[in-house]
Chain A
Amino acid sequence: MKMHEYQAKELFRKFGIPVPQGLVARTAEEAFGATKEIMGPPWVVKAQIHAGGRGKGGGVRIAQTPEDVKKAAKAILETPLVTKQTGPEGRKVNQVLVEQGVEIDRELYLAVVIDRAKAMPVLIFSSAGGMEIEEVAEKTPELVLKQLIDPGTGWMPYHARTPAYSLDPLPDPDTLKDLMSLMANLYRAFIALDCSLAEINPLVVTKDGKLIALDAKINIDDNALVRQKDLKALEDPTEKDPLDYKAEKYNLNYIRLSGNIGAMVNGAGLAMATMDVIKLAGAEPANFLDVGGGASEEMVTRGLEIILEDENVKAILINIFGGILRCDVLARGVLAGAEKTAIKVPLIVRLEGTNVEEGRKILQESNLKFMVARDMVEAAEMVTAQVKKTA
């Protein structure tokens, strides 16, 4: 789960990580009002959306007067923000963060993530802050320092000393000390909040030697949200596609895509592979939908409903390899879904695996109009032929 910058900063504050003074505003007037409580000028007005690359898209603006803050907030809130992650249509911004401006002396990078291969948290530190870390790692790998943290011992002071003392020139002793305790605090937050990412970019050293997390990014491990209920409550539903959000409530793995073939598959790997086969056949999938290895009849029905709510869908492909999810259960779910939604687009079904005969029989004996494919390739070709016909 992703969080907004202002939410991440509130959490950082609780863990003793200094952040700029700031207030969230939903209107230009609120942003204007915020300047009375926040030190300035200058002020910084920042769009609060999950997509990265806000700065380049005009989502971060510096203002010298309260009137300018108002104007900046208005501009950000009124026009959809286009960044390289939002797509050309951009994304509507619902709130801005108004912050005190900071006099920057130096920009650093600090993050904690999990190293998958090593199965350990890793602290990543760089003297090249303010840039994309992937880019820094590619061009100047020597500037990216990593410290693996052994879960058996937990955080040790050397995890901070080694990267901090690598800075050249070295900051003042007080700043250095603050930096090392900030690193420990970020690790503490990472563990306590079940993060998959905790990132400060840039972490700035101000002209008077203070450290401030100018930006903040926290992603929470989705699998841990069951024990992080307070954090789950911070989720912003407007950041998600409405269909994605609905699917999540039904416990379905659904991701909306831009094509016109609705696909329902059991299992994530097979669902990805089905998307690939559709594309190879010359069409575009409208979604990724994994109803799960052990889906119930109801989940299948809900899945079908969600596919049909996407008005781009011109044909549906159901590809099921029955394992835990039996083909007869799938067939009943499809029939229930078809009854509720009145499917008007061509439906291609490919069934295999546990109880396949029973599943096929249930479908054949119903009033449902559908076509049967023998295998995945045939299914993809059939569904592609259908959308080409209607186009």
Chain B
Amino acid sequence: MTILVDEKTRVVVQGITGREGTFHTIQMLKYGTVVAAGMTPGKRGRSVEGVPVYNSVHEAVKYEGVNTSCIFVPPLFAADAIMEAAAEGLNVIVCITEGIPALDMVGVASFLKGKNSVLIGPNCPGIISPGKTKVGIMPGPIHRPGGIGVISRSGTLTYEVVDQLSRAGLGQSTCIGIGGDSIIGTSFIDHLTLFKNDPQTEGVVLIGEIGGTAEEDAADYIRRDFRKPVIAFIAGQTAPPDKRMGHAGAIISGGKGKAQDKIKALEEAGITVVRNLGKLGESALKVMTLSNGGR
């Protein structure tokens, strides 16, 4: 088993006729993802690489039975797109879009309360269950099916980690990029909870970065309630304060969100924290071998 997405996942790409939307639809199809529908208002009747385009998510559900969305619409329209997908009851909504205003996301977070949709992102690479499906923009070939769950706030940094894991012989159950913004749909804890109950997942790699307290919260949860081995890395150990390090959420402000504090919290929860990113694969193999898992 994997979490959230698998071979039964039927994807609608919101913003499929845009440059990014089209490019990644092709990539997802190549990987074997069932992209059942596309959606761009006013463009029903077209098709992109054989994928039928509809005017609304409502139509995509009605005619193609989609249950998952992948969003590529521009930042100022993304909040609306997420809410549309949630209003139609999709299980998983992956929002790739970067640069959504924070107050728009405040509205989205409020809207999603009490609904069953799981939002991944925004400003994220998406989610992949290797060998089954990918809903997002990560390069498929670096992944291998296996027993490691990966949760990350970053994009390319996740690829680096996954590549090292695969080279070390550690395949992945599901890899999720939760997004680099300050307000995101799901947290480390949300996904840890799912990995906890997933029999395929034998261990978790958690990739955090400076800003906010998501890693500290995850450490607290793991200490109390998570028994599978966890390996963590925190990016930004040398980042200067008060500078936004690319991601809207990656900023040390008012003395809060420092890498050192996060590493300390994780280590106190018994988690192996890798200081040198280049050694992550190696360390993960060591930890997983010790706990007899991962292969």
Contact = CB atoms under 8 A, between A and B. Distances in A.
B232 to A, nearest CB: 13
Contact of A272 (B138, B212, B245): B245
Given A151-B110, A273-B157, A279-B237, A321 B101 contact: no
Given A117-B213, A277-B276, A323-B138, A266 B235 contact: no
B156 A269 contact: yes
A114 B238 contact: no
B277 A294 contact: no
Contact of B106 (A114, A322, A378): A114
A221 B213 CA distance: 20
Given A255-B243, A267-B154, A273 B235 contact: yes
Interface in B82-116: 99-103, 105-107, 109-110
A352 B75 CA distance: 29
Interface centre among A253, A270, A352 (most CB of B within 10 A): A270
B276 A377 contact: yes
Contacts, number: 174
A194 B243 CA distance: 19
Contacts of A272: 157, 209-210, 235-236, 239, 245-246, 250
A288 interface: yes
Given A121-B106, A223-B100, A277 B156 contact: no
B101 A227 contact: yes
B183 interface: yes
Contacts of A294: 20
A312 to B, nearest CB: 15
A324 interface: yes
A271 interface: yes
A271 B245 contact: yes
B207 A194 contact: no
Given A151-B110, A224-B102, A276-B237, A353 B142 contact: yes
Given A226-B75, A323-B139, A375-B278, A114 B159 contact: no
B249 A227 contact: no
Nearest to A325: B156
Nearest to A252: B246
A306 B138 CA distance: 28
Contacts of A267: 154-157, 246
Interface in B139-185: 139, 142, 152-160, 163, 180, 182-183
Contact of A223 (B152, B210, B248, B276): B248
Given A255-B243, A280-B275, A321 B163 contact: yes
A269 B155 contact: yes
Interface centre among B138, B182, B244 (most CB of A within 10 A): B182
A275 interface: yes
A265 B109 CA distance: 32
A285 interface: yes
Interface centre among A120, A133, A134, A293 (most CB of B within 10 A): A293
Contact of B156 (A257, A293, A378): A293
B181 to A, nearest CB: 8
Contacts of A194: 101-103
Interface string A121-159: 100000000000110000000000000001110000000
A277 B276 CA distance: 6
A323 B137 contact: yes
B236 A276 contact: yes
Contacts of B250: 268-269, 272
B152 A114 contact: no
Given A268-B155, A270-B157, 5 more contacts: A116-B249, A267-B156, A269-B157, A276-B275, A288-B246
Interface of B: 20, 23, 75-76, 99-103, 105-107, 109-110, 125, 137-139, 142, 152-160, 163, 180, 182-183, 207, 209-210, 212-214, 217, 233, 235-240, 242-250, 254-256, 275-279
14 contacts: A151-B110, A222-B244, A223-B99, A224-B103, A255-B245, A268-B154, A269-B157, A272-B250, A277-B277, A279-B237, A288-B243, A288-B245, A321-B160, A322-B139
Interface of A: 85, 114, 116-117, 119-121, 133-134, 150-152, 191, 194, 196, 221-224, 226-227, 253, 255, 257, 265-273, 275-277, 279-280, 285, 288, 290, 293-294, 321-324, 352-354, 375-378, 380
What 9 A-B pairs are tightest by C-beta distance, nearest first?
A269-B154, A268-B246, A267-B156, A377-B278, A269-B157, A119-B109, A224-B101, A272-B235, A253-B246
